[in-house]
């Protein structure tokens, strides 16, 4: 993956739940990294047919490995097109990460 294709700026966020002395839970979002990534939305192509095991995934992100940071399912990616929940993270050639994610859609009241 060339650096020229990594044009989308993304934030990777980890959510944690903290409890105070009285037992009330408070959700805290911590920004893990701000990086450039290649982003692809789901469409009928050979690559997406091969990824059919992850039917919930509707976005693919490819980025360089971040030293000292472990990305895992459940973290959130924020880009200019919306918020995505990470479903799967896979290392490619020891240099890149391929992340399958599901777009978080706001619920209608």
Indicate the class that CATH gives domain 3-103.
mainly beta
One DSSP character per residue, 66-100 reads -TT----TT-EEEETTEEEEEEEEEEETTTEEEEE
pLDDT, residue 35, reads 93
Q: What digits encode the pLDDT tens for the residues 17-38?
A: 888 888 888 888 999 999 999 9
The domain ranges of the chain are 3-103
Pairing of strands 25-41, 82-92: unpaired
Q: What digits encode the pLDDT tens for the residues 72-82?
A: 998 999 999 89
């Amino acid at each position: 993956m060339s650096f020229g294709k990594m044009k989308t700026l993304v934030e990777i966020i980890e959510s944690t739940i903290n409890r105070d002395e009285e037992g009330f839970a408070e959700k805290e979002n911590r920004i893990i990294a701000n990086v450039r990534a290649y982003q692809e939305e789901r469409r009928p192509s050979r690559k997406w047919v091969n990824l059919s095991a992850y039917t919930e995934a509707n976005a693919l992100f490819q980025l360089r490995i971040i030293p000292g940071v472990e990305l895992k399912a459940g973290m959130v990616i924020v880009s200019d097109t919306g918020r995505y929940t990470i479903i799967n993270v896979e290392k490619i050639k020891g240099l890149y990460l391929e992340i399958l994610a599901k777009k978080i859609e706001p619920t209608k009241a």
